[in-house]
Amino acid sequence: MCLLEEVTAWDGQSIACVTETHRDPANPLRRQGRLPAVMAFEYGGQAAAIHGGLRARAAGQTAPPGYLAALRDARWFVTDLDGIAEPLEVAAQLLLGDQAHCLYAIQVSAAGRLLAEARIAIAPQATAETAS
């Protein structure tokens, strides 16, 4: 599932993306016809994942598979995302980390209005090699 439609800018420390998938009735994150604001953190996590992939590709590598290991200081300022008429602006800024372990600050906005923000930690998925 990829909810982000376009990367508008990125560098080694940050990424900016936009999307209008929050208004799609078929959005896989909808629950009982709604897209709760808490789902903004999935959008931010996807931006961080894309950023990790772009950083790895720029270094001539492949990003290792990872997962969202922690969500901290999560705040949202709306109830639902599906009622937002403007495109979502999703930003992730790398605060600390390498290719496998990362800490990002994420923000989801629309037309300059902050909708949600948090810090997320990304950890590598265990593989057969690391599990033994």
Is the pLDDT at 59 greater than 70? The verdict is: yes
Strand, helix or coil at 58?
helix
What are the tens digits of pLDDT across the range 81-119? Answer: 999 999 999 999 999 987 668 999 999 999 999 999 999
Ramachandran region, residue 112 (left: φ > 0; alpha: ψ -120 to 50; beta: rest): left
Q: Which two tokens stand for residue 15?
A: 């990424």
What are the tens digits of pLDDT across the range 8-35? Answer: 999 999 999 999 999 999 999 999 999 9
CA separation, residue 100 to residues 14, 45, 54, 68 (Å): 16, 14, 13, 12
Q: What is the pTM of this model?
A: 0.92
What are the structural domains of the chain? 6-131 (3.10.129.10)
